[in-house]
Amino acid sequence: MRRALHSVAFLLVAGSATAGCLEELPPTGQIVLHVETDATLASERSAGAHPALFDRLRVEWFEPGKDAPCDGCLREFAATQEVFLEDRASTGFVPRPFVSGYRARATLYRHAGVAGPRATSSITTTLELPAVGADGIAHVWAALRTVDVGAPRGALDAPLSGERPSKALRPGTWDDDVRRECTEPPGPFEACVPGGGFFIGSASHPIEGREHLVKVSPFYVDVHEVTVREFRRTRLAREGDPSPRTGCNFSPAAGEWDDLPINCISHGMAAAYCERIGKKLLTEAQFERVATGLGAFDYPWGRSLPECGDAIFARDDGASIAEYKACVSLGVGATRAGAGALDRLALGGIEITDLAGNLSEWMLDTYNDEGDPCFASGGLLVDPVCAVAGARVKGGHAVRGGSFATSVLSLRGSTRTAGPTDDTGAKFVGLRCARSE
């Protein structure tokens, strides 16, 4: 027993079964680590109004000079509001008396079906632990602030001191500055998208990009994709833009396609349309906030995989790949707004349609891959707009959302791709406009 005492002993201050082992040990000095956070977490008692950003807490203890946790010195917790508010995330550690150099690391992360923390979507703090004597308790604090996501504080070779924060952190308060509704009612054919923080990207679908935490201010978004009629009213059309080629909807004269979403439009013309009516194209972050149900789901409606009638996809009768024409029995090409049974999101009693399918949509952002300038940093992104060229797609713009010409795999709200050549457009790409409050 003496040998166990002077190597490593580990207990959970919050009443873990392992704590009972210490009752057999002689009195000895201990270190208690308290963990605080301001992150949005789930509640054990009720459904939260905002999606949880993280769901796991990992605490590790390291002996002097070691870069791997000591035996039995790693603990995992379900990260809920109550765990932090009731100090149930606190852990105790019994080091060798009068020995310095011990360290502790606390990591708040999201499981997301993938084992272990990931750098861009975790909050990590590494602390230096004080030497303790043969008795007594030393307290240290790890502050896991959401603004530090993707940017670890401290390291095993450069740990921080574990001083108590001057102001206690409370779960769910980190984005109070933007977590609100719009200040004014939406205009005609608009909906208010409340502000808040959420993760873009995906841990389980690498093609959608790594996870990045973003904070988006409230904004207004058009409830449907821009139609042929709406575009023609601005008299912006010029020869070849929108394109008159086969599969394109625009006509300079009123006709049967006036209520269809306009396609075959260049990025420049799409941006000019939104500017003409006092708005802008959506940013990628704005689009993903709406298309994932404010960051809560895979699709606007939830997590269930859509069937052919739920959204407008796989309706390209000229496709050579079966997955792109699997739903042509229900129709061919884009349709009038709202034809998909599930493809809608209700905000403030107003429905926003065709976020997953019908037409893909031009974004305001230039397209960057992971590692390109707009995603080079792993930290928090606030109202991000990418305006620099990427290494692979030089100056081209991003496109979001699936379309009648894509398979079901492209309907997830976090799916992103580089658009067609900016000056030509494509039959599967349209636009939607938004404006800041």
- Range 348-351, long-range pairs (CB < 8 A, 24+ positions): 348/181, 348/186, 348/191, 348/192, 350/186, 350/190, 350/191, 350/192, 350/223, 351/191, 351/223
| Cα distances (angstroms) measured from residue 361 to each of 201, 226, 264, 418, 424 | 17, 10, 11, 11, 14
Q: Supply 303's token pair.
A: 């997590």
Q: Which amino acid is at 323?
A: E
CA dihedral 373, 374, 379, 382 (to 10 degrees): 150
Cβ atoms 33, 91 nearer than 8 A: yes
Q: Nearest CA to 319 among 211, 404, 423?
A: 404
DSSP designation for 85: H
Q: Nearest CA to 283 among 338, 341, 361?
A: 361
Q: Which amino acid is at 74?
A: L
Q: Within 13 Å of residue 328, how many CA atoms lie on the same side as its CB?
A: 13
Q: Supply 392's token pair.
A: 């692979």
pLDDT attached to residue 206: 62
Q: Nearest CA to 205 among 123, 303, 122?
A: 303
pLDDT attached to residue 177: 85
d(C-alpha 397, C-alpha 403), whole Å = 17
DSSP designation for 408: G
Q: Which amino acid is at 277?
A: I
Cα dihedral across residues 14, 15, 17, 22: positive or negative: positive
The whole-number mean pLDDT for each consecutive block of 10 residues of the chain, a chain of 437 residues, reads: 33 35 57 96 85 95 97 94 94 94 97 81 97 93 96 97 90 90 97 96 74 96 99 93 89 94 96 98 98 96 97 97 98 98 98 99 95 86 94 88 97 93 88 97
d(C-alpha 108, C-alpha 153), whole Å = 12
Distance of CA 297 to the CA centre of its chain: 10
Q: Nearest CA to 365 among 226, 270, 294, 299?
A: 270
d(C-alpha 365, C-alpha 383), whole Å = 12
Cβ atoms 313, 333 nearer than 8 A: no
Q: Which amino acid is at 48?
A: G
Question: Domains along the chain?
Answer: 2-148 (2.60.40), 190-436 (3.90.1580.10)
| Cα distances (angstroms) measured from residue 129 to each of 306, 308, 342 | 52, 58, 53
pLDDT attached to residue 27: 59
Cβ atoms 303, 412 nearer than 8 A: no
Predicted TM-score (pTM) of this structure: 0.89
Determine how many CB atoms are found less than 10 A away from the CB of residue 246: 8
Cβ atoms 42, 171 nearer than 8 A: no
DSSP designation for 365: E
d(C-alpha 337, C-alpha 350), whole Å = 14
d(C-alpha 231, C-alpha 263), whole Å = 10
pLDDT attached to residue 382: 95
Residue 202, phi then psi, degrees to nearest 5:
-150, 140
DSSP designation for 103: E
Cβ atoms 294, 198 nearer than 8 A: yes
Q: Nearest CA to 288 among 377, 196, 366, 375?
A: 196
DSSP designation for 223: S
